[in-house]
């Protein structure tokens, strides 16, 4: 079960690996759905359980082994999970980069920097460490580049 209010699509996602579960939305109890092994459903703003096409129980449960697995998800979703897991702040410029779709499987990353480094490499981005987190930026965009430092004698 995944329910993060800060997700771009807040709600609850249920992935079933074995057994049986009845998913009953509070807002629409008449729209109960019985889940079978392999089903992944999301109850969001609509209040009705929707099948999650890109989800599998294996990817939805990957966090139990310390993995981060995403199939055709916005980069912002991945970054949000990295922020929660490692207690860091990740800033991305330009903001439109958060909407880029990503399919990635990161097996038990040991640090936020390891994830940021891999994502930067995959997307042709640059990054820099800062107090409390990292900045990711598009090196082709002058407005997104990190500030230059100036040393005055």
Average pLDDT over residues 143-148: 44
Locus of tokens 């970054």? 79
Tens-digit pLDDT profile for residues 63-110: 778 888 888 888 998 998 899 899 999 999 998 999 999 888 889 999
DSSP 147: P
pLDDT, one tens digit per residue, over 44-54 is 777 778 777 65
For residue 27, the Cα-to-chain-centroid distance in whole angstroms is 26
List Cβ neighbours of 118 (8 Å cut-off, separation of 6 or more).
Answer: 104, 106, 109
Q: Give pLDDT tens digits for 6-30.
A: 666 678 888 888 899 998 888 888 8
Cβ neighbours of residue 95 closer than 8 Å, sequence gap 6 or more: none
DSSP code string of 1-64: -B--TTSSS-SEEEE-SSS-EEE--SS-GGG-EEE-TT-EEEE-TT-SEEE-TT--HHHHTGGG
């Amino acid at each position: 079960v995944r329910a993060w209010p800060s997700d771009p699509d807040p709600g609850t996602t249920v992935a079933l690996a074995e057994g049986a579960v009845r998913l009953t939305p509070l807002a629409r109890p008449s729209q109960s759905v019985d889940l079978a092994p392999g089903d992944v459903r999301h109850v969001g703003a609509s209040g009705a359980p929707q099948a999650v096409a890109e989800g599998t129980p294996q990817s939805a449960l990957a966090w139990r082994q310390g993995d981060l697995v995403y199939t055709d998800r916005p980069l912002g979703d991945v970054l949000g999970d990295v922020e929660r897991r490692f207690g860091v702040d990740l800033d991305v410029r330009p903001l439109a980069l958060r909407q880029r779709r990503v399919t990635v499987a990161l097996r038990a990353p040991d640090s936020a920097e390891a994830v940021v480094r891999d994502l930067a490499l995959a997307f042709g981005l640059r990054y820099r460490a800062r107090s409390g987190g990292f900045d990711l930026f598009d090196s082709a965009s002058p407005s997104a580049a990190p500030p230059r430092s100036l040393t005055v004698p």
